Structure 1
């Protein structure tokens, strides 16, 4: 029986366009591919191992023709709309008091700052969760198993009583190895607000 629902953020609640953002970055930087060093800094930043200043300084040094403002716009390009119908679904779910609700997201300070500024109901959204874990704040990232064990231990949860919803197969596979029930959501054809009809077999 499901007692806890653990939600990803991007492509579950807020829509992302990762492919377009990648293409936009390559064009802006005038390169053919992101270097291993760039990918490493991106990963460090998502884990909260470097500050926003250090992150932007790295890109400024490598692409001096771009201003900090332009670099931030490139970084945030993937963030799109947050349909309010998903907030309505979440609020109704919280009001039902049937499940413990947790958010578990790989993200970073610049993305969250952008969302706080551009999503008028961000605080309302955040308040729907009993626990709200952002990778850069807890220094853990999916799909590493330690992030899932952290959530289970912090909240005294049984893995088999949890449902984890994410759009990334590697994250889902990691959760499955711990006996957490999962929904690999397809953001192009599925919507989290339809959880109880799409995944009714789990409930």
Structure 2
């Protein structure tokens, strides 16, 4: 990895589980309280219901998503209850990771590519701004969200879209994600990729403290 870091010019970060601390089980439990069970597939990756996937692909408005959730629930619930359950997984941006990105931007072009949705984006951008006093987008040359580009990782098309839109050479680009499937998708697109699986922290990866 040290040799790769010397060669690459661009780094594309995943968000949840890499820069933003998340706990999907909090959303699972919140939806269970509302009456929706088996939200996440075994192993903690991927959604069982298409409504979540369609939301992350930008195929649904916020209202259509909430109505889709209501169809899966045994009783009536408010928009705010659905949003709260959906956003329960989003926890915090550790300050040391923001500091790390500021250090890295002097050497690399930094990008973000996240499978997400409009409700989550509004929530975590507000969360970030309240904590740090500036826009999260300022950390990156550009941030890419699946619901805006209508493509989800790990599809080859999603990575090709980012590479083409940002005019990046895949052999000069490193992708970092906590999902092995997404890492494999980036490798299929010709990118260098690192699976952040908990054994190595971002600071250890870049040897910065």
* Number of the residue aligned with 1:171: 182
Per-residue deviation, residues 108-128 of structure 1 (Å, max 9, x unmatched): 111111112222237443112
> TM (normalized to structure 1)?
0.86
Measured after TM superposition, the shift of residue 151 of structure 1 is 1.3
Match of 2:35 among 10, 30, 52: 30
**Residues 132, 67 of structure 1: alpha-carbon distance in 2 compared, 3 angstrom cutoff:** same
The one of 122, 127, 135 equivalent to 2:138 is: 127
What residue number does 1:83 align with?
Answer: 94
Q: Would you say 1:108 and 2:114 are equivalent positions?
A: no
- Aligned residue pairs, count: 194
1:142 counterpart residue number: 153
1:43-99 CA distance string (max 9 Å, x none): 1101111100110122234433322111111111111111011111111222x1x21
Structure 1 unaligned regions, length at least 5 = 199-203
Q: Answer yes or no: is 1:48 the counterpart of 2:58.
A: yes
SS of the equivalent of 2:22 reads coil
Distance 1:140 1:189 in 2: 29
TM norm structure 2 = 0.84
**DSSP 3-state at the match of 1:11:** coil
Query: Displacement of 1:28 after TM fit?
Result: 1.5
Q: 1:183 to 1:16 in 2, by over 3 A?
A: same
20, 23, 30: which one pairs with 1:17?
23
Alpha-carbon distance, 1:15 to partner: 0.5
When residues 169 and 161 of structure 1 are mapped into structure 2, their CA distance, relative to the original with a 3 A threshold, is same
Kindly report the root-mean-square deviation, in angstroms, between the aligned alpha carbons of the 2 structures: 2.3
2:9 alignment counterpart? 3
> Of the two structures, which has the highest relative contact order with CA contacts closer than 8 Å and spacing of 6 or more?
1
Q: CA deviation at 1:145?
A: 0.4
Q: Structure 2 CA distance, aligned partners of 1:114 and 1:195?
A: 28
**Secondary structure of the corresponding residue to residue 92 of structure 2:** coil
Instruction: Sort the Cα spacing of 1:35 and 1:176 in 2 relative to 1 into closer, same or farther, 3 A.
Output: closer
